[in-house]
Amino acid sequence: MSHTFKGGVHPNYMKAPEIPISVITPPPQVIIPMTQHIGAPCKPLVQVGDYVKMGQKIGENPAPVSAPVHASVSGKVVAVEPRPHPLGDMIMSVVIENDYQDTPCEDLAPLTEEQLKDSEAILERIREAGVVGMGGAMFPTAFKIRGGIGKVDKLIINGAECEPYLNGDHLTMLNYPEQLLKGIELVRIASCVDKAYYGIEKNKQDAIDLLNSLHPEKYGIEIVPEEVKYPQGAEKMQVNAVTGREVKPGGIPSGVGCNVVSTRTCYAIYQACYEGKPVIERIVTVAGSALKAPVNGLTRVGTPFGYLAEQCGGFVKPPRKIVLGGPMMGICATSFDAPNIKGTAGVLFFTEEEDKHVEHPTCIRCGKCITVCPMNLEPVFMYMYYSKGDFENMAKYHITDCFECGSCAFNCPARMPLTHAFKTAKLMFQAKQMKEKAKAEAEAAAAAAKEAKQ
Ligand code: SF4
Ligand code: SF4
């Protein structure tokens, strides 16, 4: 059986896993945003002047969909205020002046042998350690796993890492294979399933061989080699490639009995449970043609992008844009002062060579965008109705089912800004829905008030 999905593209992968992991010296000040996850933002637990230890919890929110944040260095809190966030806007952040002592906080002890076999104890630790989807989605992992218990019979670990440039997952497999297998085993136990399927693209054959040599079956894991194709790493594609099940438009993997957890998330879970270490660092690929010396850097959460660039020897050409994540699905950062967060797998400094912007593109009706869409959508028509602001037809062509993989834009010879348009269209739909909801609520409140008067 060929493990892949319909559609997709083959970009130039530009990967450099041969660059070994280097430890990025933490910056003089780290900026820890209170929002590093989907869900309720954390509230700061510290004040200006407080001394914090490395790994100390400095922000939390008791809401179920949230994840605490921790200090990535030890030192003095010098500001608690809104700072530029990598996803845009100014977000409440705790700024810590690094004392370069890395004095550890020992609030989280490693779990005991017994706890390492207990779903509830593992889930509690995942939450306390602030683990979120580190493939970029940043959904709180404990909540995700808990929601799947009893519904999910197939646990899939995402080892595709199909985005160009990014190497963090591949290097985690090569450098920490045993820890990674133990992390996956923990996710399997927490999910209450007997087996986990680890989908890895065949361009990481060295990692597949290494992991297989460690007898993954001992941990209840089967390695599933996958065809190399973008966007293999998207959750819906992983589900389809590994199980043959199809997540319908608007659906989620748990709707077809699957849960997908990323490689780096499993490794973070290993660290949280076996080492008592919260999420305070991750491997970040720092690359792009503007940069002097790309690195795969073990980087503390809260490291500003400008500082990261300095650690790579600075720029050889002026960067035109900073892309967070990979070039296909990544988003543009607007400030060098914004820091990396838990979900930042890559920071790419691109010049105009990579930024192939066309001033007034014209569609030539070639249909190449349709052939590659893994969601069976028709991007050419979606774009046409988006340009006209025609909500009815945008809905008819299922524009909200687009998950912004960028395959259509990549394959478009006219360089139509398809993905950007669909991102904007989805935001427009969201705004429209919120407006309609607010209107309906106001009308209901007015009707209730009128009835109360009578
Ligand atoms: S329409 Fe959306 S899902 Fe389909 S290829 Fe384009 S970006 Fe990807
Ligand atoms: S690939 Fe580009 S040019 Fe071709 S139909 Fe689609 S939008 Fe038009």
pLDDT, tens digit (0-9, with 9 covering 90-100), for 385-414: 999 999 999 999 999 999 999 999 999 999
Which of 222, 252, 274 is the last residue in one of the domains? 274
The CATH number of the domain holding residue 211 is 3.40.50.11540
Q: How many Å is the Cα radius of gyration of the chain?
A: 23
- For ligand 2, the distance from its centroid to the CA atom of residue 367, given in whole angstroms, is 5
Instruction: Report the nearest-CA residue for atom 2 of ligand 1.
Output: 402
* Interval 191-202 mean pLDDT: 97
Residue 104 is assigned to a structural domain of this protein? no
- For ligand 1, mutation pick of 407, 412, 429 (most atoms within 8 Å of CB): 407
Q: The tokens 């995700």 sit on which residue?
A: 144
pLDDT band at 2 (very low <50, low <70, confident <90, very high): low
pLDDT at 250: 79
Torsional sign, CA 184, 121, 189, 342:
negative
Q: Angle 382-387-393 (CA atoms, 0-180°, nearest 5)? A: 45
**243, 274, 305 - which closes a domain:** 274
Average pLDDT over residues 69-79: 98
Residues 258 and 144 in one domain: yes
Whether 411 is in a domain gets the answer yes
Cα torsion angle, 175, 178, 179, 185, sign: positive
Distance 409 CA to ligand 2 centre (A): 8
At residue 357, does pLDDT exceed 80? Answer: no
Asked if residue 260 and residue 401 are part of one domain, the reply reads no
Same structural domain for residues 129 and 233?
yes
- Do residues 400 and 377 touch, judged by C-beta distance below 8 A? no
Residues 147 and 261 in one domain: yes
Average pLDDT of the segment spanning 171-199? 98
Residue 125 placed within a domain: yes
- Distance of CA 118 from the midpoint of ligand 2 (Å): 52
Would you place residue 354 in the very low, low, confident or very high pLDDT band (cuts 50, 70, 90)?
A: confident
Ligand 2 pocket test, candidate residues 362, 370, 378, 412, most atoms within 8 A of CB:
412
- Same domain as 378, residue 263: no
**pLDDT higher than threshold 90 for residue 219:** yes
Instruction: Show which of 274, 295, 324 is a domain's final residue.
Output: 274
Pocket test for ligand 1, best of 5, 162, 384, 403 (most atoms within 8 A of CB): 403
What distance lies between CA 54 and its chain's CA centroid? 24
**Phi and psi at residue 411, to the nearest 5°:** -90, 0
How is residue 401 written in tokens?
């089912």
Instruction: Tell me the pLDDT band of 73, cut-offs 50, 70 and 90.
Output: very high
- Round to whole Å and give the CA distance between 432 and 436: 6
pLDDT in tens, 246-271: 998 778 999 999 999 999 999 999 99
Range of the domain at 448: 360-454
Residue 84 maps to a domain: no
Neighbours of 437 (CB within 10 A): 10
Instruction: Give yes or no for residue 155 having a pLDDT over 90.
Output: yes
Ligand 1, atom 8: closest residue by C-alpha: 405
Establish if 34 belongs to a structural domain.
no
Residues flanking ligand 2, CB < 6 Å: 363-369, 379-380, 383, 412-414, 416
Domain count, the chain: 2
What is the model's pLDDT at position 430? 87
Q: Is 356's pLDDT higher than 80?
A: no
Same domain, 402 and 258: no
- pLDDT value of residue 228: 96
The answer as to whether 380 is a domain residue is yes
> What percent of the chain has a predicted confidence (pLDDT) above 90?
90
Residue of higher predicted confidence among 332 and 121: 121
pLDDT on residue 1: 60
pTM of the model: 0.93
Assess if residue 199 is contained within a domain: yes
Q: What CA–CA distance (Å, rounded) separates 387 from 382? A: 9
pLDDT at residue 203 greater than cutoff 70 = yes
Question: How large is the average pLDDT for residues 105-124?
Answer: 97
Q: Which of 74-78, 167-171, 358-362 has the lowest mean pLDDT?
A: 358-362
The predicted structure's pLDDT at residue 359: 82
Residue 299 Cβ inside 6 Å of ligand 1? The answer reads no
Type of residue numbered 67: A
